[in-house]
Amino acid sequence: MNGIIGKKIGMTSIFDQAGNNIACTIIEAGPCVVTQVKSEDVDGYSAVQLAFGEAKEKNTSKAMAGHFSKANTSPKSKVVEIPNFGLSKSLGDTVTIDELFAEGDKVSVVGTSKGKGFQGVVKRHGFSGVGDATHGQHNRLRAPGSIGAASYPAKVFKGMRMGGRTGNDRVKTRNLKVVNLFPEKNLILIKGAIPGPKGGFVVIEK
Amino acid sequence: MDSIKFVQNQYKPTDREFPEFRAGDTVVVNYKIIEGAKERIQAFRGDVIQIKGNEGNKTFTVRKMSNGVGVERIFPMNSPNIVSIEVLKRGKVRRSRIYYLRNLVGKKARIKEKTRLVSK
């Protein structure tokens, strides 16, 4: 698997040659620094650890500061491990988008979705609510309905879908097309929407 | 924000320049229509009733009366399918979005022409 860490910049729409208007997300991805290379022999699995985004030295723990200095780089704000990395990279190398992706590739984007707070079952699980909005009905419109039977089993089963904290989850959006790359600005243009707020960290995988 | 502008500028059509126009003006938009393999140009003539958005997202709405029925069409300014825009008449209106035109018919729906052209 190949991947790179990026920051969501925002969305815009562009026209392709055929005159179609395409909604696109702009991601500033890389250059990432290889901060650790994990191998079958030493770690039991193969992976490459990438770091992205400048961090202040005062906000970096001594342990992480030591880790970054091993790779001869400044402190970074996001560190992600990519298993079975496709390119052969060694400690301290940089990874840029033009090495990994090309126009027309299908990629997956992993991010943390926007937090929605405490939400009911209609928004959280896609329930359709109970009953009608009219005909004398007054308080069941977005209710969950029955959550189980009565004296047997005399409990609510674990995992019953109810209201609660929504969003702020790891979300992967698959099969997104790379529309264009601007390696000089480290920008990648992807068709469609990706999870997370503007400025949020994402991992682009291929 | 700068990165978004950068991307939009990359996709800005550079080979053409449209005359400036505003709400109330009468324009002809020559629009490319692709039917399968064939391509033809259709002219849409009407009054501009609004211009909205900025940079790459700018659009304008043209309204015309077709057989007594009002027809409105929204054109994205950056669409490669717009071949050309001609301004036929500069209208004298007080608003930048002349939606009130939708409620008017016949002689009331006319827009007065600006007598003195302001060169921009």
Question: Per residue in A128-146, pLDDT tens?
Answer: 988 888 888 888 889 998 9
Residue of B nearest to A15 (CA): B79
- Identify the pLDDT of residue B118: 58
Give the CB-side neighbour count of residue B99, counting CA atoms within 13 A: 1
User: What ipTM describes this predicted complex?
Assistant: 0.74
Of residues A177 and B16, more confidence is placed in A177
* Domain co-membership, A150 together with A83: no
**Chain A residues whose beta carbon lies within 8 Å of the beta carbon of residue B2:** none
**Chain A residues whose beta carbon lies within 8 Å of the beta carbon of residue B77:** none
Residue B120 pLDDT greater than 60, yes or no? no
Sheet of A47-54: strand order equals A76-83, A47-54, A32-38, A94-95
Q: Does the distance separating the beta carbons of B32 and A15 come in below 8 Å?
A: no
* Domain co-membership, A178 together with A156: no
Q: What is the mean pLDDT of chain B?
A: 86
| CATH number of the structural domain spanning residue A103 | 2.40.30.10
pTM (2 decimals)? 0.82
The residues near A46 (Cβ < 8 Å, ≥ 6 apart) are A38, A39, A40, A83, A84, A85
Residue of B nearest to A28 (CA): B3
* Domain co-membership, A19 together with A70: yes
Number of domains in chain A: 2
* Domain co-membership, A34 together with A48: yes
Residue of A nearest to B2 (CA): A9
pLDDT digits (tens, 9 = 90+) for A19-71: 888 999 999 987 889 998 888 899 899 899 999 988 888 899 999 999 988 88
Chain A positions touching chain B (beta carbons under 8 Å): 9-10, 12-15, 17-19, 21, 24, 26, 28, 180, 182, 185, 187, 189
Nearest to A15 among B6, B34, B79 (CB): B79
Chain B positions touching chain A (beta carbons under 8 Å): 1, 3-4, 6-8, 10-11, 32, 34, 56-57, 76, 78-81
Stretch among A199-203, B47-51, B113-117 having the lowest mean pLDDT: B113-117
* Domain co-membership, A114 together with A57: yes
DSSP B5: H
Residue B3 pLDDT greater than 90, yes or no? no
* Domain co-membership, A73 together with A109: yes
* Domain co-membership, A9 together with A77: yes
Stretch among A137-141, B54-58, B114-118 having the lowest mean pLDDT: B114-118
* Domain co-membership, A43 together with A139: no
Q: What is the mean pLDDT of chain A?
A: 90
Transcribe chain A into DSSP letters.
--EEEEEEEEEEEEE-TT--EEEEEEEEE--EEEEEEE-HHHHSS-EEEEEEEE--GGGS-HHHHHHHHHTT---EEEEEEEET-SS---TT-EE-HHHH--TT-EEEEEEEPPP-EEE-HHHHH----SS-SSTT--S-TT-----S-STTT-SPPTT----EEES-SEEEEEEEEEEEEETTTTEEEEES--SS-TT-EEEEE-
Nearest to B7 among A18, A21, A189 (CB): A189
**Residue A87 is part of which domain span?**
3-118+172-205
* Domain co-membership, A72 together with A126: no
Among the listed residues B67, B56, B54, B52, the one whose alpha carbon sits nearest the alpha carbon of residue B98: B52
* Domain co-membership, A112 together with A134: no
CA-to-CA distance for A137 and A11, rounded, in angstroms?
42
* Domain co-membership, A194 together with A161: no
Q: Does the distance separating the beta carbons of B34 and A15 come in below 8 Å?
A: no
**Chain B residues whose beta carbon lies within 8 Å of the beta carbon of residue A9:** 3-4
Task: Place A174 in a pLDDT band, splitting at 50, 70 and 90.
Answer: very high
Percent of chain B residues past pLDDT 70, beyond the cut: 95
Task: Place B119 in a pLDDT band, splitting at 50, 70 and 90.
Answer: low
Neighbours of A200 (CB within 10 A): 15
- Identify the pLDDT of residue A164: 94
Give the Cα-Cα-Cα angle A92, A37, A182 (nearest 5 degrees).
Answer: 55
Q: How far is B80 from chain A (nearest CA, A)?
A: 6
* Domain co-membership, A126 together with A157: yes
